[in-house]
Amino acid sequence: MKIEPNKTRAFTLIEMILAIGVAAMVLIAVNTALFASLRLRDATANLVDGATPLDQTVSFIRRDLQCVVTPTNGTSKVLSGDFKTGSVSSPGVTEPVAIEMFTATGALSDSAPWGDIQRVTYELKQPAGRNAAGKDLYRSVVRNLLTFTTPEAQDQFMLSGVQSIKFSCFDGLTWQDAWDTTGVTSAYTNLPLAVRVDIQMSGNNNLQPIELVVPIDVQVRTNTALTATAGS
């Protein structure tokens, strides 16, 4: 009996070309999807990084306004002072501020001998050492309210690229661009019912300003004793 040798089957040239073509198309599709995902990741990261300072700024402003302290009427102002908005000159701050308030947002710690009430101002400053559109928004804080000299304000950088910031106060009927409790002689508090904050970013004037409305919910106090009327 004659034994035939084993016949081996190999890939033809056409099959090799087809396999290489399919593999190339798969690699192209994977490469396209990979680079598309990388571009989406970078765009999302840039968007989040750009929104984070603005979100933090809005959170700080909202918290300061929600914890605002009732102004002390008269000349005796120890741990609380006036509430002012507009173009205000604040002691210890070189630039005109958009708002000056006393708020109970100070962090208490064993290493800081201050209470929770602090003076907070928000102001715009020219960028230092760089060419950029808009100004820098700073939050200046004074913790030592018992000093007899000019208080030292601690500047906290909040946001860059700001064209303008405006605080408007609601008196129950209309929004007032300026508010000042310095000359108030009534025994009652003179805080506004709400404060609206408009932050206009630079670069595109067609963009709507970022608007924040914070209701002011404080307890009204008076030093006037209640007297009983006839027939009551």
Q: Which residues contact 62 (CB under 8 A, 6 or more apart)?
A: 212, 214
What is the chain's length?
Answer: 232
Residue 77, domain member (yes or no): yes
The predicted model scores a pTM of 0.69
Residue 40, domain member (yes or no): no
pLDDT, residue 186, reads 44
Residue 112, domain member (yes or no): yes
Q: How many angstroms separate the CA atoms of 196 and 203, rounded?
A: 23
Residue 61, domain member (yes or no): yes
Domains in the chain, number: 1
Residue 185, domain member (yes or no): yes
Residue 2, domain member (yes or no): no
pLDDT in tens, 208-217: 888 999 999 8
Residue 221, domain member (yes or no): no
Residue 42, domain member (yes or no): no
Q: Which amino acid is at 49?
A: D
Mean pLDDT of the chain: 79
pLDDT, residue 199, reads 92
pLDDT, residue 203, reads 74
pLDDT, residue 95, reads 81
State which residues form the domain around 131: 51-215
The residue ranges of the chain whose pLDDT is under 70 are 1-9, 42, 44-51, 72-79, 129-130, 132, 183-189, 204-206, 218-232
The pair of structure tokens assigned to 111 is: 């290493």
pLDDT, residue 33, reads 85
